[in-house]
Amino acid sequence: MHICPVLVFATTMALASDFLLWNPSMSTPTYIYKIVPASATPYPLTDAPPVSELDASDRFIHLSTAFQVAGTLKRFFPNEDSIYLLRIIYANVH
């Protein structure tokens, strides 16, 4: 799986281009995103996205479409000063 980290200040450009490639009425997005607090990001990144405590307790990795990222940030990461937005090619997820 190829994971492309997008720094938080570059997020707007990356997401804007993804909106052109996918919208909520389509069945399959081109990319999906893993939001990771900068303080919790392992370096160097591995081939798999980091697993949060919520992911572990729910037993799956929480991901967002470009359309969902803003709401996910607002709801689950309101106090984070910086995050990494990991862009994952949807077709490569198994």
pTM equals 0.68
Range of the domain at 52: 3-92
Instruction: Give how many domains the chain has, as a whole number.
Output: 1
Digit-coded pLDDT (tens) for 7-25: 443 344 445 455 445 555 6
pLDDT for 29 = 86
Cα–Cα distances (Å) from 73 to 24, 34, 94, in that order, read 18, 11, 25
User: Helix, strand, coil: what percent of the chain each, to 5?
Assistant: 40, 20, 40
Tell me which residue of 28, 15, 7 sits closest to 66, measured CA to CA: 15
Residues contacting 52, CB < 8 A, separation 6+? 36, 40, 62
